[in-house]
């Protein structure tokens, strides 16, 4: 019988988001048979104490999972160090894991999708991640129900110990041999700002574990499985999270059916590559739409 992967949920100071995340996760078909680890970061400053305590009260409610292990940090670690430490320790014990943050709403079939995919590609070294999120591309029916793409996504994902051991936190080592052609491939022909994130990390402007994970996957020529219909909705693009702006261009309709198709050929899907590249290139819209989005980010929704 297939062993279910443990779920790791990282939470901080957003009680409303945390509750929505847990309510949706609890509705998953495999929830009551799954182990759940909740890692709660401590308050960064006095202003965060009340919400952190509220979150810690929510995660201690009687949620319906096989077993819940709660880890409460005694000092503020920050998201990056929390994820690296938590994933490393739990995946070392269990060999695989499903990773979520406190602003991710899952479809009822998400855990089924993650576990089936983890089982399917357990021994395929080039497959390094299972992504739960899928971009709101145009004409999704042109794509197969699941497919491979090179970008490691952090909005609900799963991986194995064999893949996570390739994670390198040293961004200078990860980019040491990058040439212009590598930067272009990494940035999907310059349509997404992945290389900008690398430069911002090096400059100390951001502390992202996700860009280092994508670099780690990229350097191994790894692939990520994506669903045609997203299993995860990011409910945190409201300016409330780490590295998060107010934005609705990533809003998706969650999957309503179980995924039954998983490709046997381990190669990047060309149609999916072009569809996602088009989304990256056009997601900001025309000049008027960009101006409206800038104003929303700057002043917020009233």
| pLDDT tens sequence across 62-113 | 999 999 999 999 999 999 999 999 999 999 999 999 999 999 999 999 999 9
Describe the crossing of helices 209-219 and 194-202 by its angle, rounded to 10 degrees.
Answer: 120
Residue 129, domain member (yes or no): yes
Per residue in 147-201, pLDDT (tens digit) is 999 999 999 999 999 999 999 999 999 999 999 999 999 999 999 999 999 999 9
Say what the pLDDT of residue 237 is: 74
> Is the model's pLDDT at 287 over the cut of 60?
no
Residue 155, domain member (yes or no): yes
- What value does the mean pLDDT of the chain take? 93
Residue 24, domain member (yes or no): yes
Residue 75, domain member (yes or no): yes
> Is the model's pLDDT at 291 over the cut of 70?
no
Question: What CATH number is associated with residue 278?
Answer: 3.90.550.10
Question: What's the domain count of the chain?
Answer: 1
pLDDT band at residue 240 using 50, 70 and 90 as cut-offs: low
DSSP 3-state of 223: strand
Residue 1, domain member (yes or no): no
Q: Is the distance from CB of 248 to CB of 237 less than 8 angstroms?
A: yes
- For residue 135, the enclosing domain spans 7-299
Distances (CA, A) of 300 to 47, 57, 194, 216, 238: 20, 29, 25, 35, 9
Which helix (H) or strand (E) segment is 21 a member of? helix 15-26
Residue 93, domain member (yes or no): yes
Residue 33, domain member (yes or no): yes
Q: Is the distance from CB of 254 to CB of 107 less than 8 angstroms?
A: yes
Cα torsion 1, 156, 67, 256: sign: negative
Residue 235, domain member (yes or no): yes
């Amino acid at each position: 019988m297939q062993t279910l992967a443990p779920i790791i949920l990282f939470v901080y100071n957003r009680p409303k988001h945390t509750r929505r995340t847990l309510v949706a996760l609890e509705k998953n078909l495999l929830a009551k048979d799954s182990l759940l680890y909740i890692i709660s970061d401590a308050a960064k400053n006095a202003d965060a104490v009340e919400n952190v305590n509220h979150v810690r009260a929510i995660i201690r409610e009687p949620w319906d999972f096989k077993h819940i292990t709660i880890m409460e940090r005694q000092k503020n670690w920050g998201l990056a160090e929390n994820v690296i430490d938590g994933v490393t320790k739990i995946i070392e014990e269990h060999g695989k894991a499903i990773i979520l943050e406190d602003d991710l709403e899952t479809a009822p079939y998400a855990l089924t999708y993650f576990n089936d995919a983890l089982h399917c590609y357990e021994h395929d070294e080039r497959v390094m991640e299972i992504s739960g999120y899928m971009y709101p591309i145009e004409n999704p029916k042109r794509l197969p129900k699941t497919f491979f793409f090179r970008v490691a996504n952090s909005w609900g994902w799963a991986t194995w110990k064999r893949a996570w051991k390739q994670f390198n936190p040293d961004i200078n080592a990860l980019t040491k041999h990058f040439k212009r052609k590598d930067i272009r491939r990494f940035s999907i022909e310059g349509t997404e700002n992945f290389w900008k994130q690398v430069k911002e990390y090096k400059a100390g402007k951001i502390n992202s574990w996700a860009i280092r994970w994508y670099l780690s996957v990229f350097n191994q020529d790894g692939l990520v499985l994506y669903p045609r219909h997203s299993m995860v909705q990011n409910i945190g693009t409201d300016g409330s999270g780490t590295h998060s702006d107010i934005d609705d261009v990533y809003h998706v309709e969650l999957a309503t059916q179980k995924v039954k198709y998983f490709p046997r050929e381990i190669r990047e899907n060309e149609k999916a590559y072009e569809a996602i590249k088009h989304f990256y290139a056009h997601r900001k819209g025309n000049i008027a739409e960009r101006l409206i989005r800038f104003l929303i980010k700057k002043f917020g929704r009233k």
